Amino acid sequence: MPDAGGGRGRDASPGSRPRSPASLLESARALLTRSAAPYSRFRVAAALEDADAEVHPGVNVESASYGLSICAERNALFGAISRGASRFTRIALVSETMRPVVPCGACRQVLLEHAPDLTLILERADGSPEQVRLSELLPRPFTEFQPKP
């Protein structure tokens, strides 16, 4: 996972084996303290895994103008893309106060555009992992835009 000194945010070397679902949840859980949620106090963290088994961190960051806030899922995705990552396979999501926590509609849409085969790893009430296909949560996504001629 990312180091406190501003490391690249990756914790697996290329070609390494994917983590277990429980391990990916733990990676996300370790990020919760980095969430900046002073208004809602609803901390969320995400650990996004790519096809090379690299893990990209994300936490929610709030603004007093809520529309300018960013969710953990999009934070992880946008950071990973900006570092050149692609081919995302799984994302683990955790919250301090809600189990399971699932992506909001905006995150579902953005994740599906960049990772249509993504699997979500959610934390059940007992702490165990639950795996859900993103496409199950957003069955008819907006994926094409064709302006009128």
DSSP class of residue 34 equals G
The active-site residue, picked from 26, 49, 54, 73, is 73
Q: Could you tell me if 32 and 41 are in contact, meaning their C-beta atoms sit under 8 angstroms apart?
A: no
Structure tokens of 25? Answer: 């949840």
Q: Could you tell me if 31 and 13 are in contact, meaning their C-beta atoms sit under 8 angstroms apart?
A: no
73 is catalytic: yes
Cα distances from 29 to residues 47, 69, 115, in angstroms, run: 9, 20, 22
Active site residues: 73
